[in-house]
């Protein structure tokens, strides 16, 4: 695809070489994300960061990625703090804010809303999550993490074995990740969820049409026994009509060190898009896994900066200028990465 000037709204817009290009650019961002070098390639550029739904890592890592490329960030957080609360349309908001920004990262609770906004925007828009629909930058960072974690074991994304666990009906990260995996070969996917929270049928069908083997289950222990990756997810309580309904499913599938030791192959990688729900009633990934070296959740969050830097560099067409606008850092940085 042509990245320069493009919106990034769905993983469906990528072909496999596009994903490989994003990963190659993400690799080149490591000296900057790891505070060895500083680049000013986006000096003067402004990111409009518009998050109309709660977010910690997507919002802050998009902002950090832009800052690390030398640009500045203007944030709007919460519908209540924007004129949308006064009845302004997404069209008008997009027309206005795209005059103030060079690129926009946006999250909104309604599926399709980011695409609607992008259609009226004069600058590229990157989807930071639209309802239960898609979260393309999360899927890219997840797949980048899978590739990185398995590289040292002689395994790759092709022939991957992965179990996805939790709220597969509402989880936009698993929706986007499944669609992205359709670009690769011979993947085995075990989908573990309560019956009511199964992966949407069209996504299961898309996986099968791509030649992947898909099993659906509502039993955790047997499902995680022969996989490279366990990808756990939170019950997406914000998508339910009531807390009581979400409570029916919270805590149904809990992975802790004892279950991991008993049922998983050695070195099975544990992933989660985060936030994990650490309340006693949930704990889908127990804190007692924190010292397990195969827990990759914080490597995922670090990789999010690399992937989002790569998206900005590609969309704003500065990949080949990054290194020529760089210098070494001045401050002490040892031991962080
Ligand atoms: N993974 C993710 O989207 O996290 P946030 O909701 O904190 O952005």
Strand 37-39 to 326-328 pairing: antiparallel
Give the full edge-to-edge strand order of the sheet including 229-232.
213-217, 188-192, 161-165, 229-232, 269-271
Ligand 1 test: best mutation among 75, 126, 131, 138, most atoms within 8 Å of CB? 138
Q: Whose CA is nearest to atom 6 of ligand 1?
A: 55
Instruction: Specify the DSSP class assigned to residue 265.
Output: P
The answer to whether residue 336 scores a pLDDT higher than 90 is: no
For the structural domain made of 11-135+303-328, what CATH number should be given?
Answer: 3.40.50.1370
Q: Measured in angstroms, how far is the CA atom of residue 330 from the centroid of ligand 1?
A: 31
Q: Please say whether the beta carbons of 316 and 4 come within 8 A.
A: yes
Q: Please say whether the beta carbons of 141 and 62 come within 8 A.
A: no
Q: Whose CA is nearest to atom 4 of ligand 1?
A: 57
Report how far residue 190's alpha carbon sits from residue 194's, in angstroms, rounded to the nearest whole number.
Answer: 13
Q: Using one digit for the tens of pLDDT, what is the confidence trace for 231-242?
A: 999 999 999 989
**Domain definitions of the chain by residue range:** 11-135+303-328, 136-298
Report how far residue 337's alpha carbon sits from residue 333's, in angstroms, rounded to the nearest whole number.
Answer: 9
The answer to whether residue 56 scores a pLDDT higher than 90 is: yes
Q: Which atom of ligand 1 is nearest to the CA of 56?
A: 7
At 278 the three-state DSSP class reads coil
Provide the token pair at 326.
């760089």
Phi-psi map region of 236: left, alpha, beta (phi>0 left; psi -120 to 50 alpha): beta
Instruction: Specify the DSSP class assigned to residue 263.
Output: H
Q: Using one digit for the tens of pLDDT, what is the confidence trace for 118-175?
A: 999 999 999 999 999 999 999 999 999 999 999 988 889 999 999 999 999 999 999 9
The per-residue pLDDT for 200 is 97
Q: Which atom of ligand 1 is nearest to the CA of 273?
A: 1
Q: How many CA atoms within 13 Å lie on the side-chain side of 115?
A: 14
Structural element, H or E, at residue 298: helix 297-315
Phi, psi of 184 (to 5 degrees): -115, 180
The per-residue pLDDT for 276 is 96
Residues flanking ligand 1, CB < 6 Å? 55-59, 129, 138, 273-275
Is the bond preceding 275 in cis, omega lying within 30 degrees of 0?
yes
The per-residue pLDDT for 337 is 79
Q: Measured in angstroms, how far is the CA atom of residue 129 from the centroid of ligand 1?
A: 9
Q: Measured in angstroms, how far is the CA atom of residue 264 from the centroid of ligand 1?
A: 27
Structural element, H or E, at residue 174: helix 172-181
Output the average pLDDT for the chain. 96
At 105 the three-state DSSP class reads strand
The per-residue pLDDT for 153 is 86
Q: Using one digit for the tens of pLDDT, what is the confidence trace for 79-119?
A: 999 999 999 999 999 999 999 999 999 999 999 999 999 99
Q: Which atom of ligand 1 is nearest to the CA of 274?
A: 1
Q: Using one digit for the tens of pLDDT, what is the confidence trace for 290-328?
A: 999 999 999 999 999 999 999 999 999 999 999 999 999
Q: Whose CA is nearest to atom 3 of ligand 1?
A: 58
Q: Which of 128, 226, 142 is nearest to 184 (CA)?
A: 142
Ligand 1 test: best mutation among 58, 109, 239, most atoms within 8 Å of CB? 58
Ligand 1 test: best mutation among 50, 56, 60, most atoms within 8 Å of CB? 56
Strand 213-217 to 229-232 pairing: unpaired
Start-to-end Cα distance in the chain:
32
**pLDDT band at 333, cuts 50/70/90?**
confident
Q: Measured in angstroms, how far is the CA atom of residue 138 from the centroid of ligand 1?
A: 8
Q: Please say whether the beta carbons of 175 and 132 come within 8 A.
A: yes
Report how far residue 251's alpha carbon sits from residue 279's, in angstroms, rounded to the nearest whole number.
Answer: 9
Q: Measured in angstroms, how far is the CA atom of residue 276 from the centroid of ligand 1?
A: 10
Q: Which atom of ligand 1 is nearest to the CA of 129?
A: 3
Ligand 1 test: best mutation among 274, 284, 303, 305, most atoms within 8 Å of CB? 274
Q: Measured in angstroms, how far is the CA atom of residue 272 from the centroid of ligand 1?
A: 10
pTM equals 0.96
The answer to whether residue 335 scores a pLDDT higher than 80 is: no
Provide the token pair at 233.
């997810």
The per-residue pLDDT for 256 is 97
Q: Right CATH number for 136-298 from 3.40.50.720, 3.40.50.1370, 3.30.930.10, 3.30.460.10?
A: 3.40.50.1370
Do the two domains 11-135+303-328 and 136-298 of this chain adopt the same fold? Answer: yes
244-248, 267-271, 327-331, range with greatest mean pLDDT = 267-271
Q: Using one digit for the tens of pLDDT, what is the confidence trace for 252-285?
A: 999 999 999 999 999 999 999 999 999 999 999 9
Q: Measured in angstroms, how far is the CA atom of residue 62 from the centroid of ligand 1?
A: 11
């Amino acid at each position: 695809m042509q990245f320069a000037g493009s919106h990034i709204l769905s993983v469906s817009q990528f072909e496999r070489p596009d994903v490989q290009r994003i990963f190659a650019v993400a690799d080149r961002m490591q000296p900057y994300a790891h505070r060895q070098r500083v680049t000013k390639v986006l000096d003067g550029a402004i990111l409009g960061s518009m998050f109309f739904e709660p977010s910690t890592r997507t919002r802050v890592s998009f902002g950090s990625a832009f800052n690390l490329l030398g640009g500045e960030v203007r944030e709007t957080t919460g519908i209540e703090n924007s004129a949308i609360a006064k009845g302004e349309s997404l069209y008008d908001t997009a027309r206005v804010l795209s005059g103030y920004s060079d690129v926009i990262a946006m999250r909104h609770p309604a599926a399709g809303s980011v695409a609607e906004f992008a259609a009226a925007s004069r600058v590229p828009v990157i989807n930071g999550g639209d309802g239960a629909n898609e979260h393309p930058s999360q899927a890219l960072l997840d797949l980048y993490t899978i590739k990185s974690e398995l590289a040292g074991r002689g395994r790759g994304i092709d022939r991957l074995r992965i179990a996805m666990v939790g709220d597969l009906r509402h989880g936009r990260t698993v929706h986007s990740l499944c669609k992205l995996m359709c670009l690769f070969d011979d993947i085995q996917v075990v989908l573990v969820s309560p019956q009511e929270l199964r992966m949407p049928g069209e996504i299961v069908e898309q996986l099968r049409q791509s030649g992947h083997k898909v099993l659906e289950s509502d039993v955790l222990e047997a499902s995680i026994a022969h996989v490279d990756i366990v990808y756990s997810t939170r019950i997406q309580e914000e998508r339910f009509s009531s807390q009581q309904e979400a409570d029916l499913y919270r805590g149904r599938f809990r992975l802790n060190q004892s279950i991991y030791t008993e049922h998983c192959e050695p070195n099975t990688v544990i992933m989660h898009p985060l936030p994990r729900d650490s309340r006693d009633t949930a704990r889908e990934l127990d804190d007692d896994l924190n010292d397990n070296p195969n827990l990759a959740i914080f490597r995922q969050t670090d990789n999010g900066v690399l992937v989002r830097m790569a998206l900005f560099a590609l969309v704003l067409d500065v990949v080949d200028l990054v290194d020529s606008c760089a210098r070494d850092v001045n401050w002490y940085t040892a031991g962080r990465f």
